[in-house]
Amino acid sequence: MRGKQKFDALFTTGDTPGNLKKKGRDLRLLARRNRCIADRYYYYGYLTQKRYEVIIKLMSLEFFLSVETLPGIIDSGTERFTELKELEPPVAYFRKQWPFMKW
């Protein structure tokens, strides 16, 4: 928030371990994004049976990621794909998990 650092500098006595906050990317948000990417990849690949190149291009537009970045994220989600293969979820499952996306 704008002005927060100035406020903190005025009213705190120093940086104690409890006051330090890690800066950078939130790992929880990244994990959630990667799970959404894995679900979307499964949906496109198994439920709509699109080709790999088409899937990567579509997801690149949806997630604002490059076509070079997406395969690495998808490769890291192998555990999620195993879960999805066992579950064989219908489209309604994805609609409930990610209601803001069009399934």
pLDDT in tens, 63-93: 999 999 999 999 998 899 999 999 999 999 9
State the burial class of residue 103 (Cβ atoms within 10 Å of its Cβ: 0-12, 13-18, 19+). Answer: middle
The pTM for the full model equals: 0.76
Q: Where are the domains of the chain?
A: 42-98
Q: How many CA atoms lie within 13 A of 73 on its CB side?
A: 22
